[in-house]
Structures are given as C-alpha cells and as structure tokens.
Structure 1
C-alpha cells in the first residue's frame, strides 16, 4: 500500500517511535522518529477542546503536508476521510481513503476503505489503541502495521501511552499508517476511550 508514491515505503520492517508533543491536552500534537532518532513525521494541531477538532495534517520534517485527515459530518459511526496533501478550500478535494468504526455492538474494530488507484481495497484495525496494542490487517488478514507500547528493555521499563511504537511492515506506506494513527487517537478521545479495555498507567515495570 503506497499513498506517497514510494517515499515512505521501506523494504525492511520499520519501527517508528511516536510521541505526543504536548502533554497538557490529549491529542495536541505528534512527532515520529526513526531508529536513528531522526524525525520523520510531525503533526501540529493545538487546541483546548480536542472533541471539536475535525481536521489534522500529517507533515514531513520540513513541514510539507503529506496527508490531511478530516472527520466527515454528519457521520453515524464517526467516519473520517484522508486526503493526499493539503485540502484547498473552494477546490474539489477527493478523499483517498475513509475510516469508520465497526457498527457491530461490542466490537472495537475499525475498517479502512481505500479509493483511487486501489478501489475496493480494505484494511481492518483490531485491538486496544488506548492501551497502545492494536494490529492493522489487509484483506488476507496479514499484519501490515502494529501499535505497541514503547519499552526500554535495559531499564526494565515500559513507557506511558504518550510514547509508543508504530511498526510498519515491508511494502506498507508508513505515512498512511501514521495517518491512521491520528484518526485512531481522535476516535479514542472523542469517544472517551472507545478502544480502552482496562487500566492505563503512566509507567509500568516489565515483569
């Protein structure tokens, strides 16, 4: 899956460290770093009421807009749409993918539908984003990306939920995966922990 024409599609499994760039308000911003500590993506979206936020922009390190995600209104199951680059008001902006919560009661899954060059292509996201433990699957139920808690094995510590790891499998677009993370975070906040299935601690000791 390549949204960015190969720019963020890697031949090897890639682990990005993602952290919220402001801890005063949930969802205020994000930064993603590679294993060398170099920043790859950034998201600046500061505001006091995250439940009113309906649009976020994923940028590269220079500030160039890569993907814009926008909540579709009205929407029965909190549907979001993703656009390539910047949305220009007054022009026709066609979404390249959409994201919706599962309509099945008791299920915390999310469905991603891709448009454009990949009509009918779908992905499924299962797990608990609140606990930073969820998997992204393609139609063949192959894992294409994962969200996991960030751990420091040498210090025997697991970090809090404001720092986590985004694992991107070979051939899957890391920018697309990061765009989906932004939407998951907004769904989680907007639904007061939609994917939360248990306790959340700032720091846990590794057993």
Structure 2
C-alpha cells in the first residue's frame, strides 16, 4: 500500500480497484435500508444524489451471512464473508463473487471482544504474518462515528459520522456521511463500514 505522510498518503492506495482512488476528497452518504428479498442493506450515493454502490445480503433469520458490494451497474465488486467460528469477529473479503483463497483482498478482525468502542485491525492479503495492521478502524457505533487510519499510525484516511434530517427521520432511514481522503480507495472504505455495521447491529 502507499506509505502515509503527514497529510495523507503519497500515492493511490488501491485495494479494490485504482478507479476508486480519487486525487481529491470524496464525500459519500450511506443510507441504511430494511433488507427485502430483492433489495439490499445499503445504498451509497454521492453528493449529487447518484447511486455509487449497493450492498446486498441474503434475506435470512441469521445475524451473519455473506454480503456483496455492487457498483451502480450491478456488477459484483467484492464478497464479504464472516468467519462464524472466529472469537474476534473476523471477516474475509474476496474479489467479485468469489470466496476462493486466491481471490482474497483483505481481512478484518476486532482487536478484542470486550470493547466499549470497536477497533478493527485490517490486513491486506499479502500481509500473511499480520504483525502490524495495514489499516485500523476506531469506532463508536452507538454514535455512528468512526475514523480509519493508515496502518498503526495516526494518519487518518477516512471519517464517518451520522447525519439525520427531518426527512430521514420520517422515512426511518439512517444517513451516514463518509469523507474519504485523497488517494484512498473509497470502495474499500465502504466495505469496511459494512463490516463495522454488521458487527454492531442488534440481533
């Protein structure tokens, strides 16, 4: 990945694809939805109101199931799969609709099960030793806020906070505003927030 600097990352940090690394900050709104048989959990829109991504998950009575991140055209970008036997809420994320080990892009796990605030350590596929994380997520999900850092540093690469309007309250929708710093893969950031949401959602 690109090395952090005092103001961000020096070169594009692509995880899902270089087309999702912009040379400027990217603002996105993540709108949570009630899952149905034909629709997903989230719509992700840009500041013009255009759909950028969708998240779909099987309609199931179980808390955990694989989710799929799609682009606006409905193409499968990544598959997010929880490891049900993990004691640290571990997720693996694969390219496209694959779950083969050769298509692994990254994994994420909670640093401890006993946390008032959620901390996720994120490891890219080539970081097999996992001595040091490639990204770190610190979140207070009851307040719908999180900060994502480069590696184990204090360099912020993205921030999320909750934004509600009278319209969103009336419609029963939560809006999460995400700002992704320049040169950071914003599809990857959305995937991390999907994992964070699933870990913290009520049964």
Normalised TM-score (structure 1): 0.77
Counterpart Cα distance in 2 of 1:174 and 1:103: 26
**Distance in structure 1 (CA, Å) of the matches to 2:35 and 2:67:** 17
Structure 1 segments of 4+ aligned residues over 3 angstroms from their partners: 91-94, 104-107, 116-121, 157-161
**1:171 to 1:58, Cα distance in 2 relative to 1, 3 A:** same
Does residue 1:113 correspond to 2:126, yes or no? Answer: no
CA 111–43 in structure 1, closer or farther in 2 if over 3 Å, else same: same
- The 1:104–1:43 alpha-carbon spacing in structure 2 relative to 1, beyond 3 Å, is closer
Query: Which structure dedicates a bigger proportion of its chain to helix?
Result: 2
Deviations 1:154-189 (A, max 9, x none): x8x996772111111111101100111111111012
Provide closer, same or farther for how the CA distance between residues 182 and 80 of structure 1 changes in structure 2, counting only shifts above 3 A. Answer: same
Matched, 1:168 2:177: no
Distance in 2 (CA, whole Å) between partners of 1:161 and 1:113 is 31
Q: Partner residue of 2:163?
A: 150
- The number of residue pairs the alignment matches comes to 184
Establish whether residue 100 from structure 1 lines up as the match of residue 113 from structure 2: no
1:59 aligns with 2:70: yes
Structure 1, unmatched stretches of 5+, are: 194-207
Structure 2 residues without counterparts, runs of 5 or longer: 1-12
- Partner Cα separation in structure 2 for residue 151 and residue 20 of structure 1: 12
**Secondary structure, in 3 states, of the residue corresponding to 2:143?**
coil
Alignment partner of 2:187: what SS?
helix
- What's the counterpart of residue 69 of structure 1? 80
Q: CA RMSD in A?
A: 2.9
User: Does the 8 Å contact 2:29/2:176 carry over to 1?
Assistant: yes
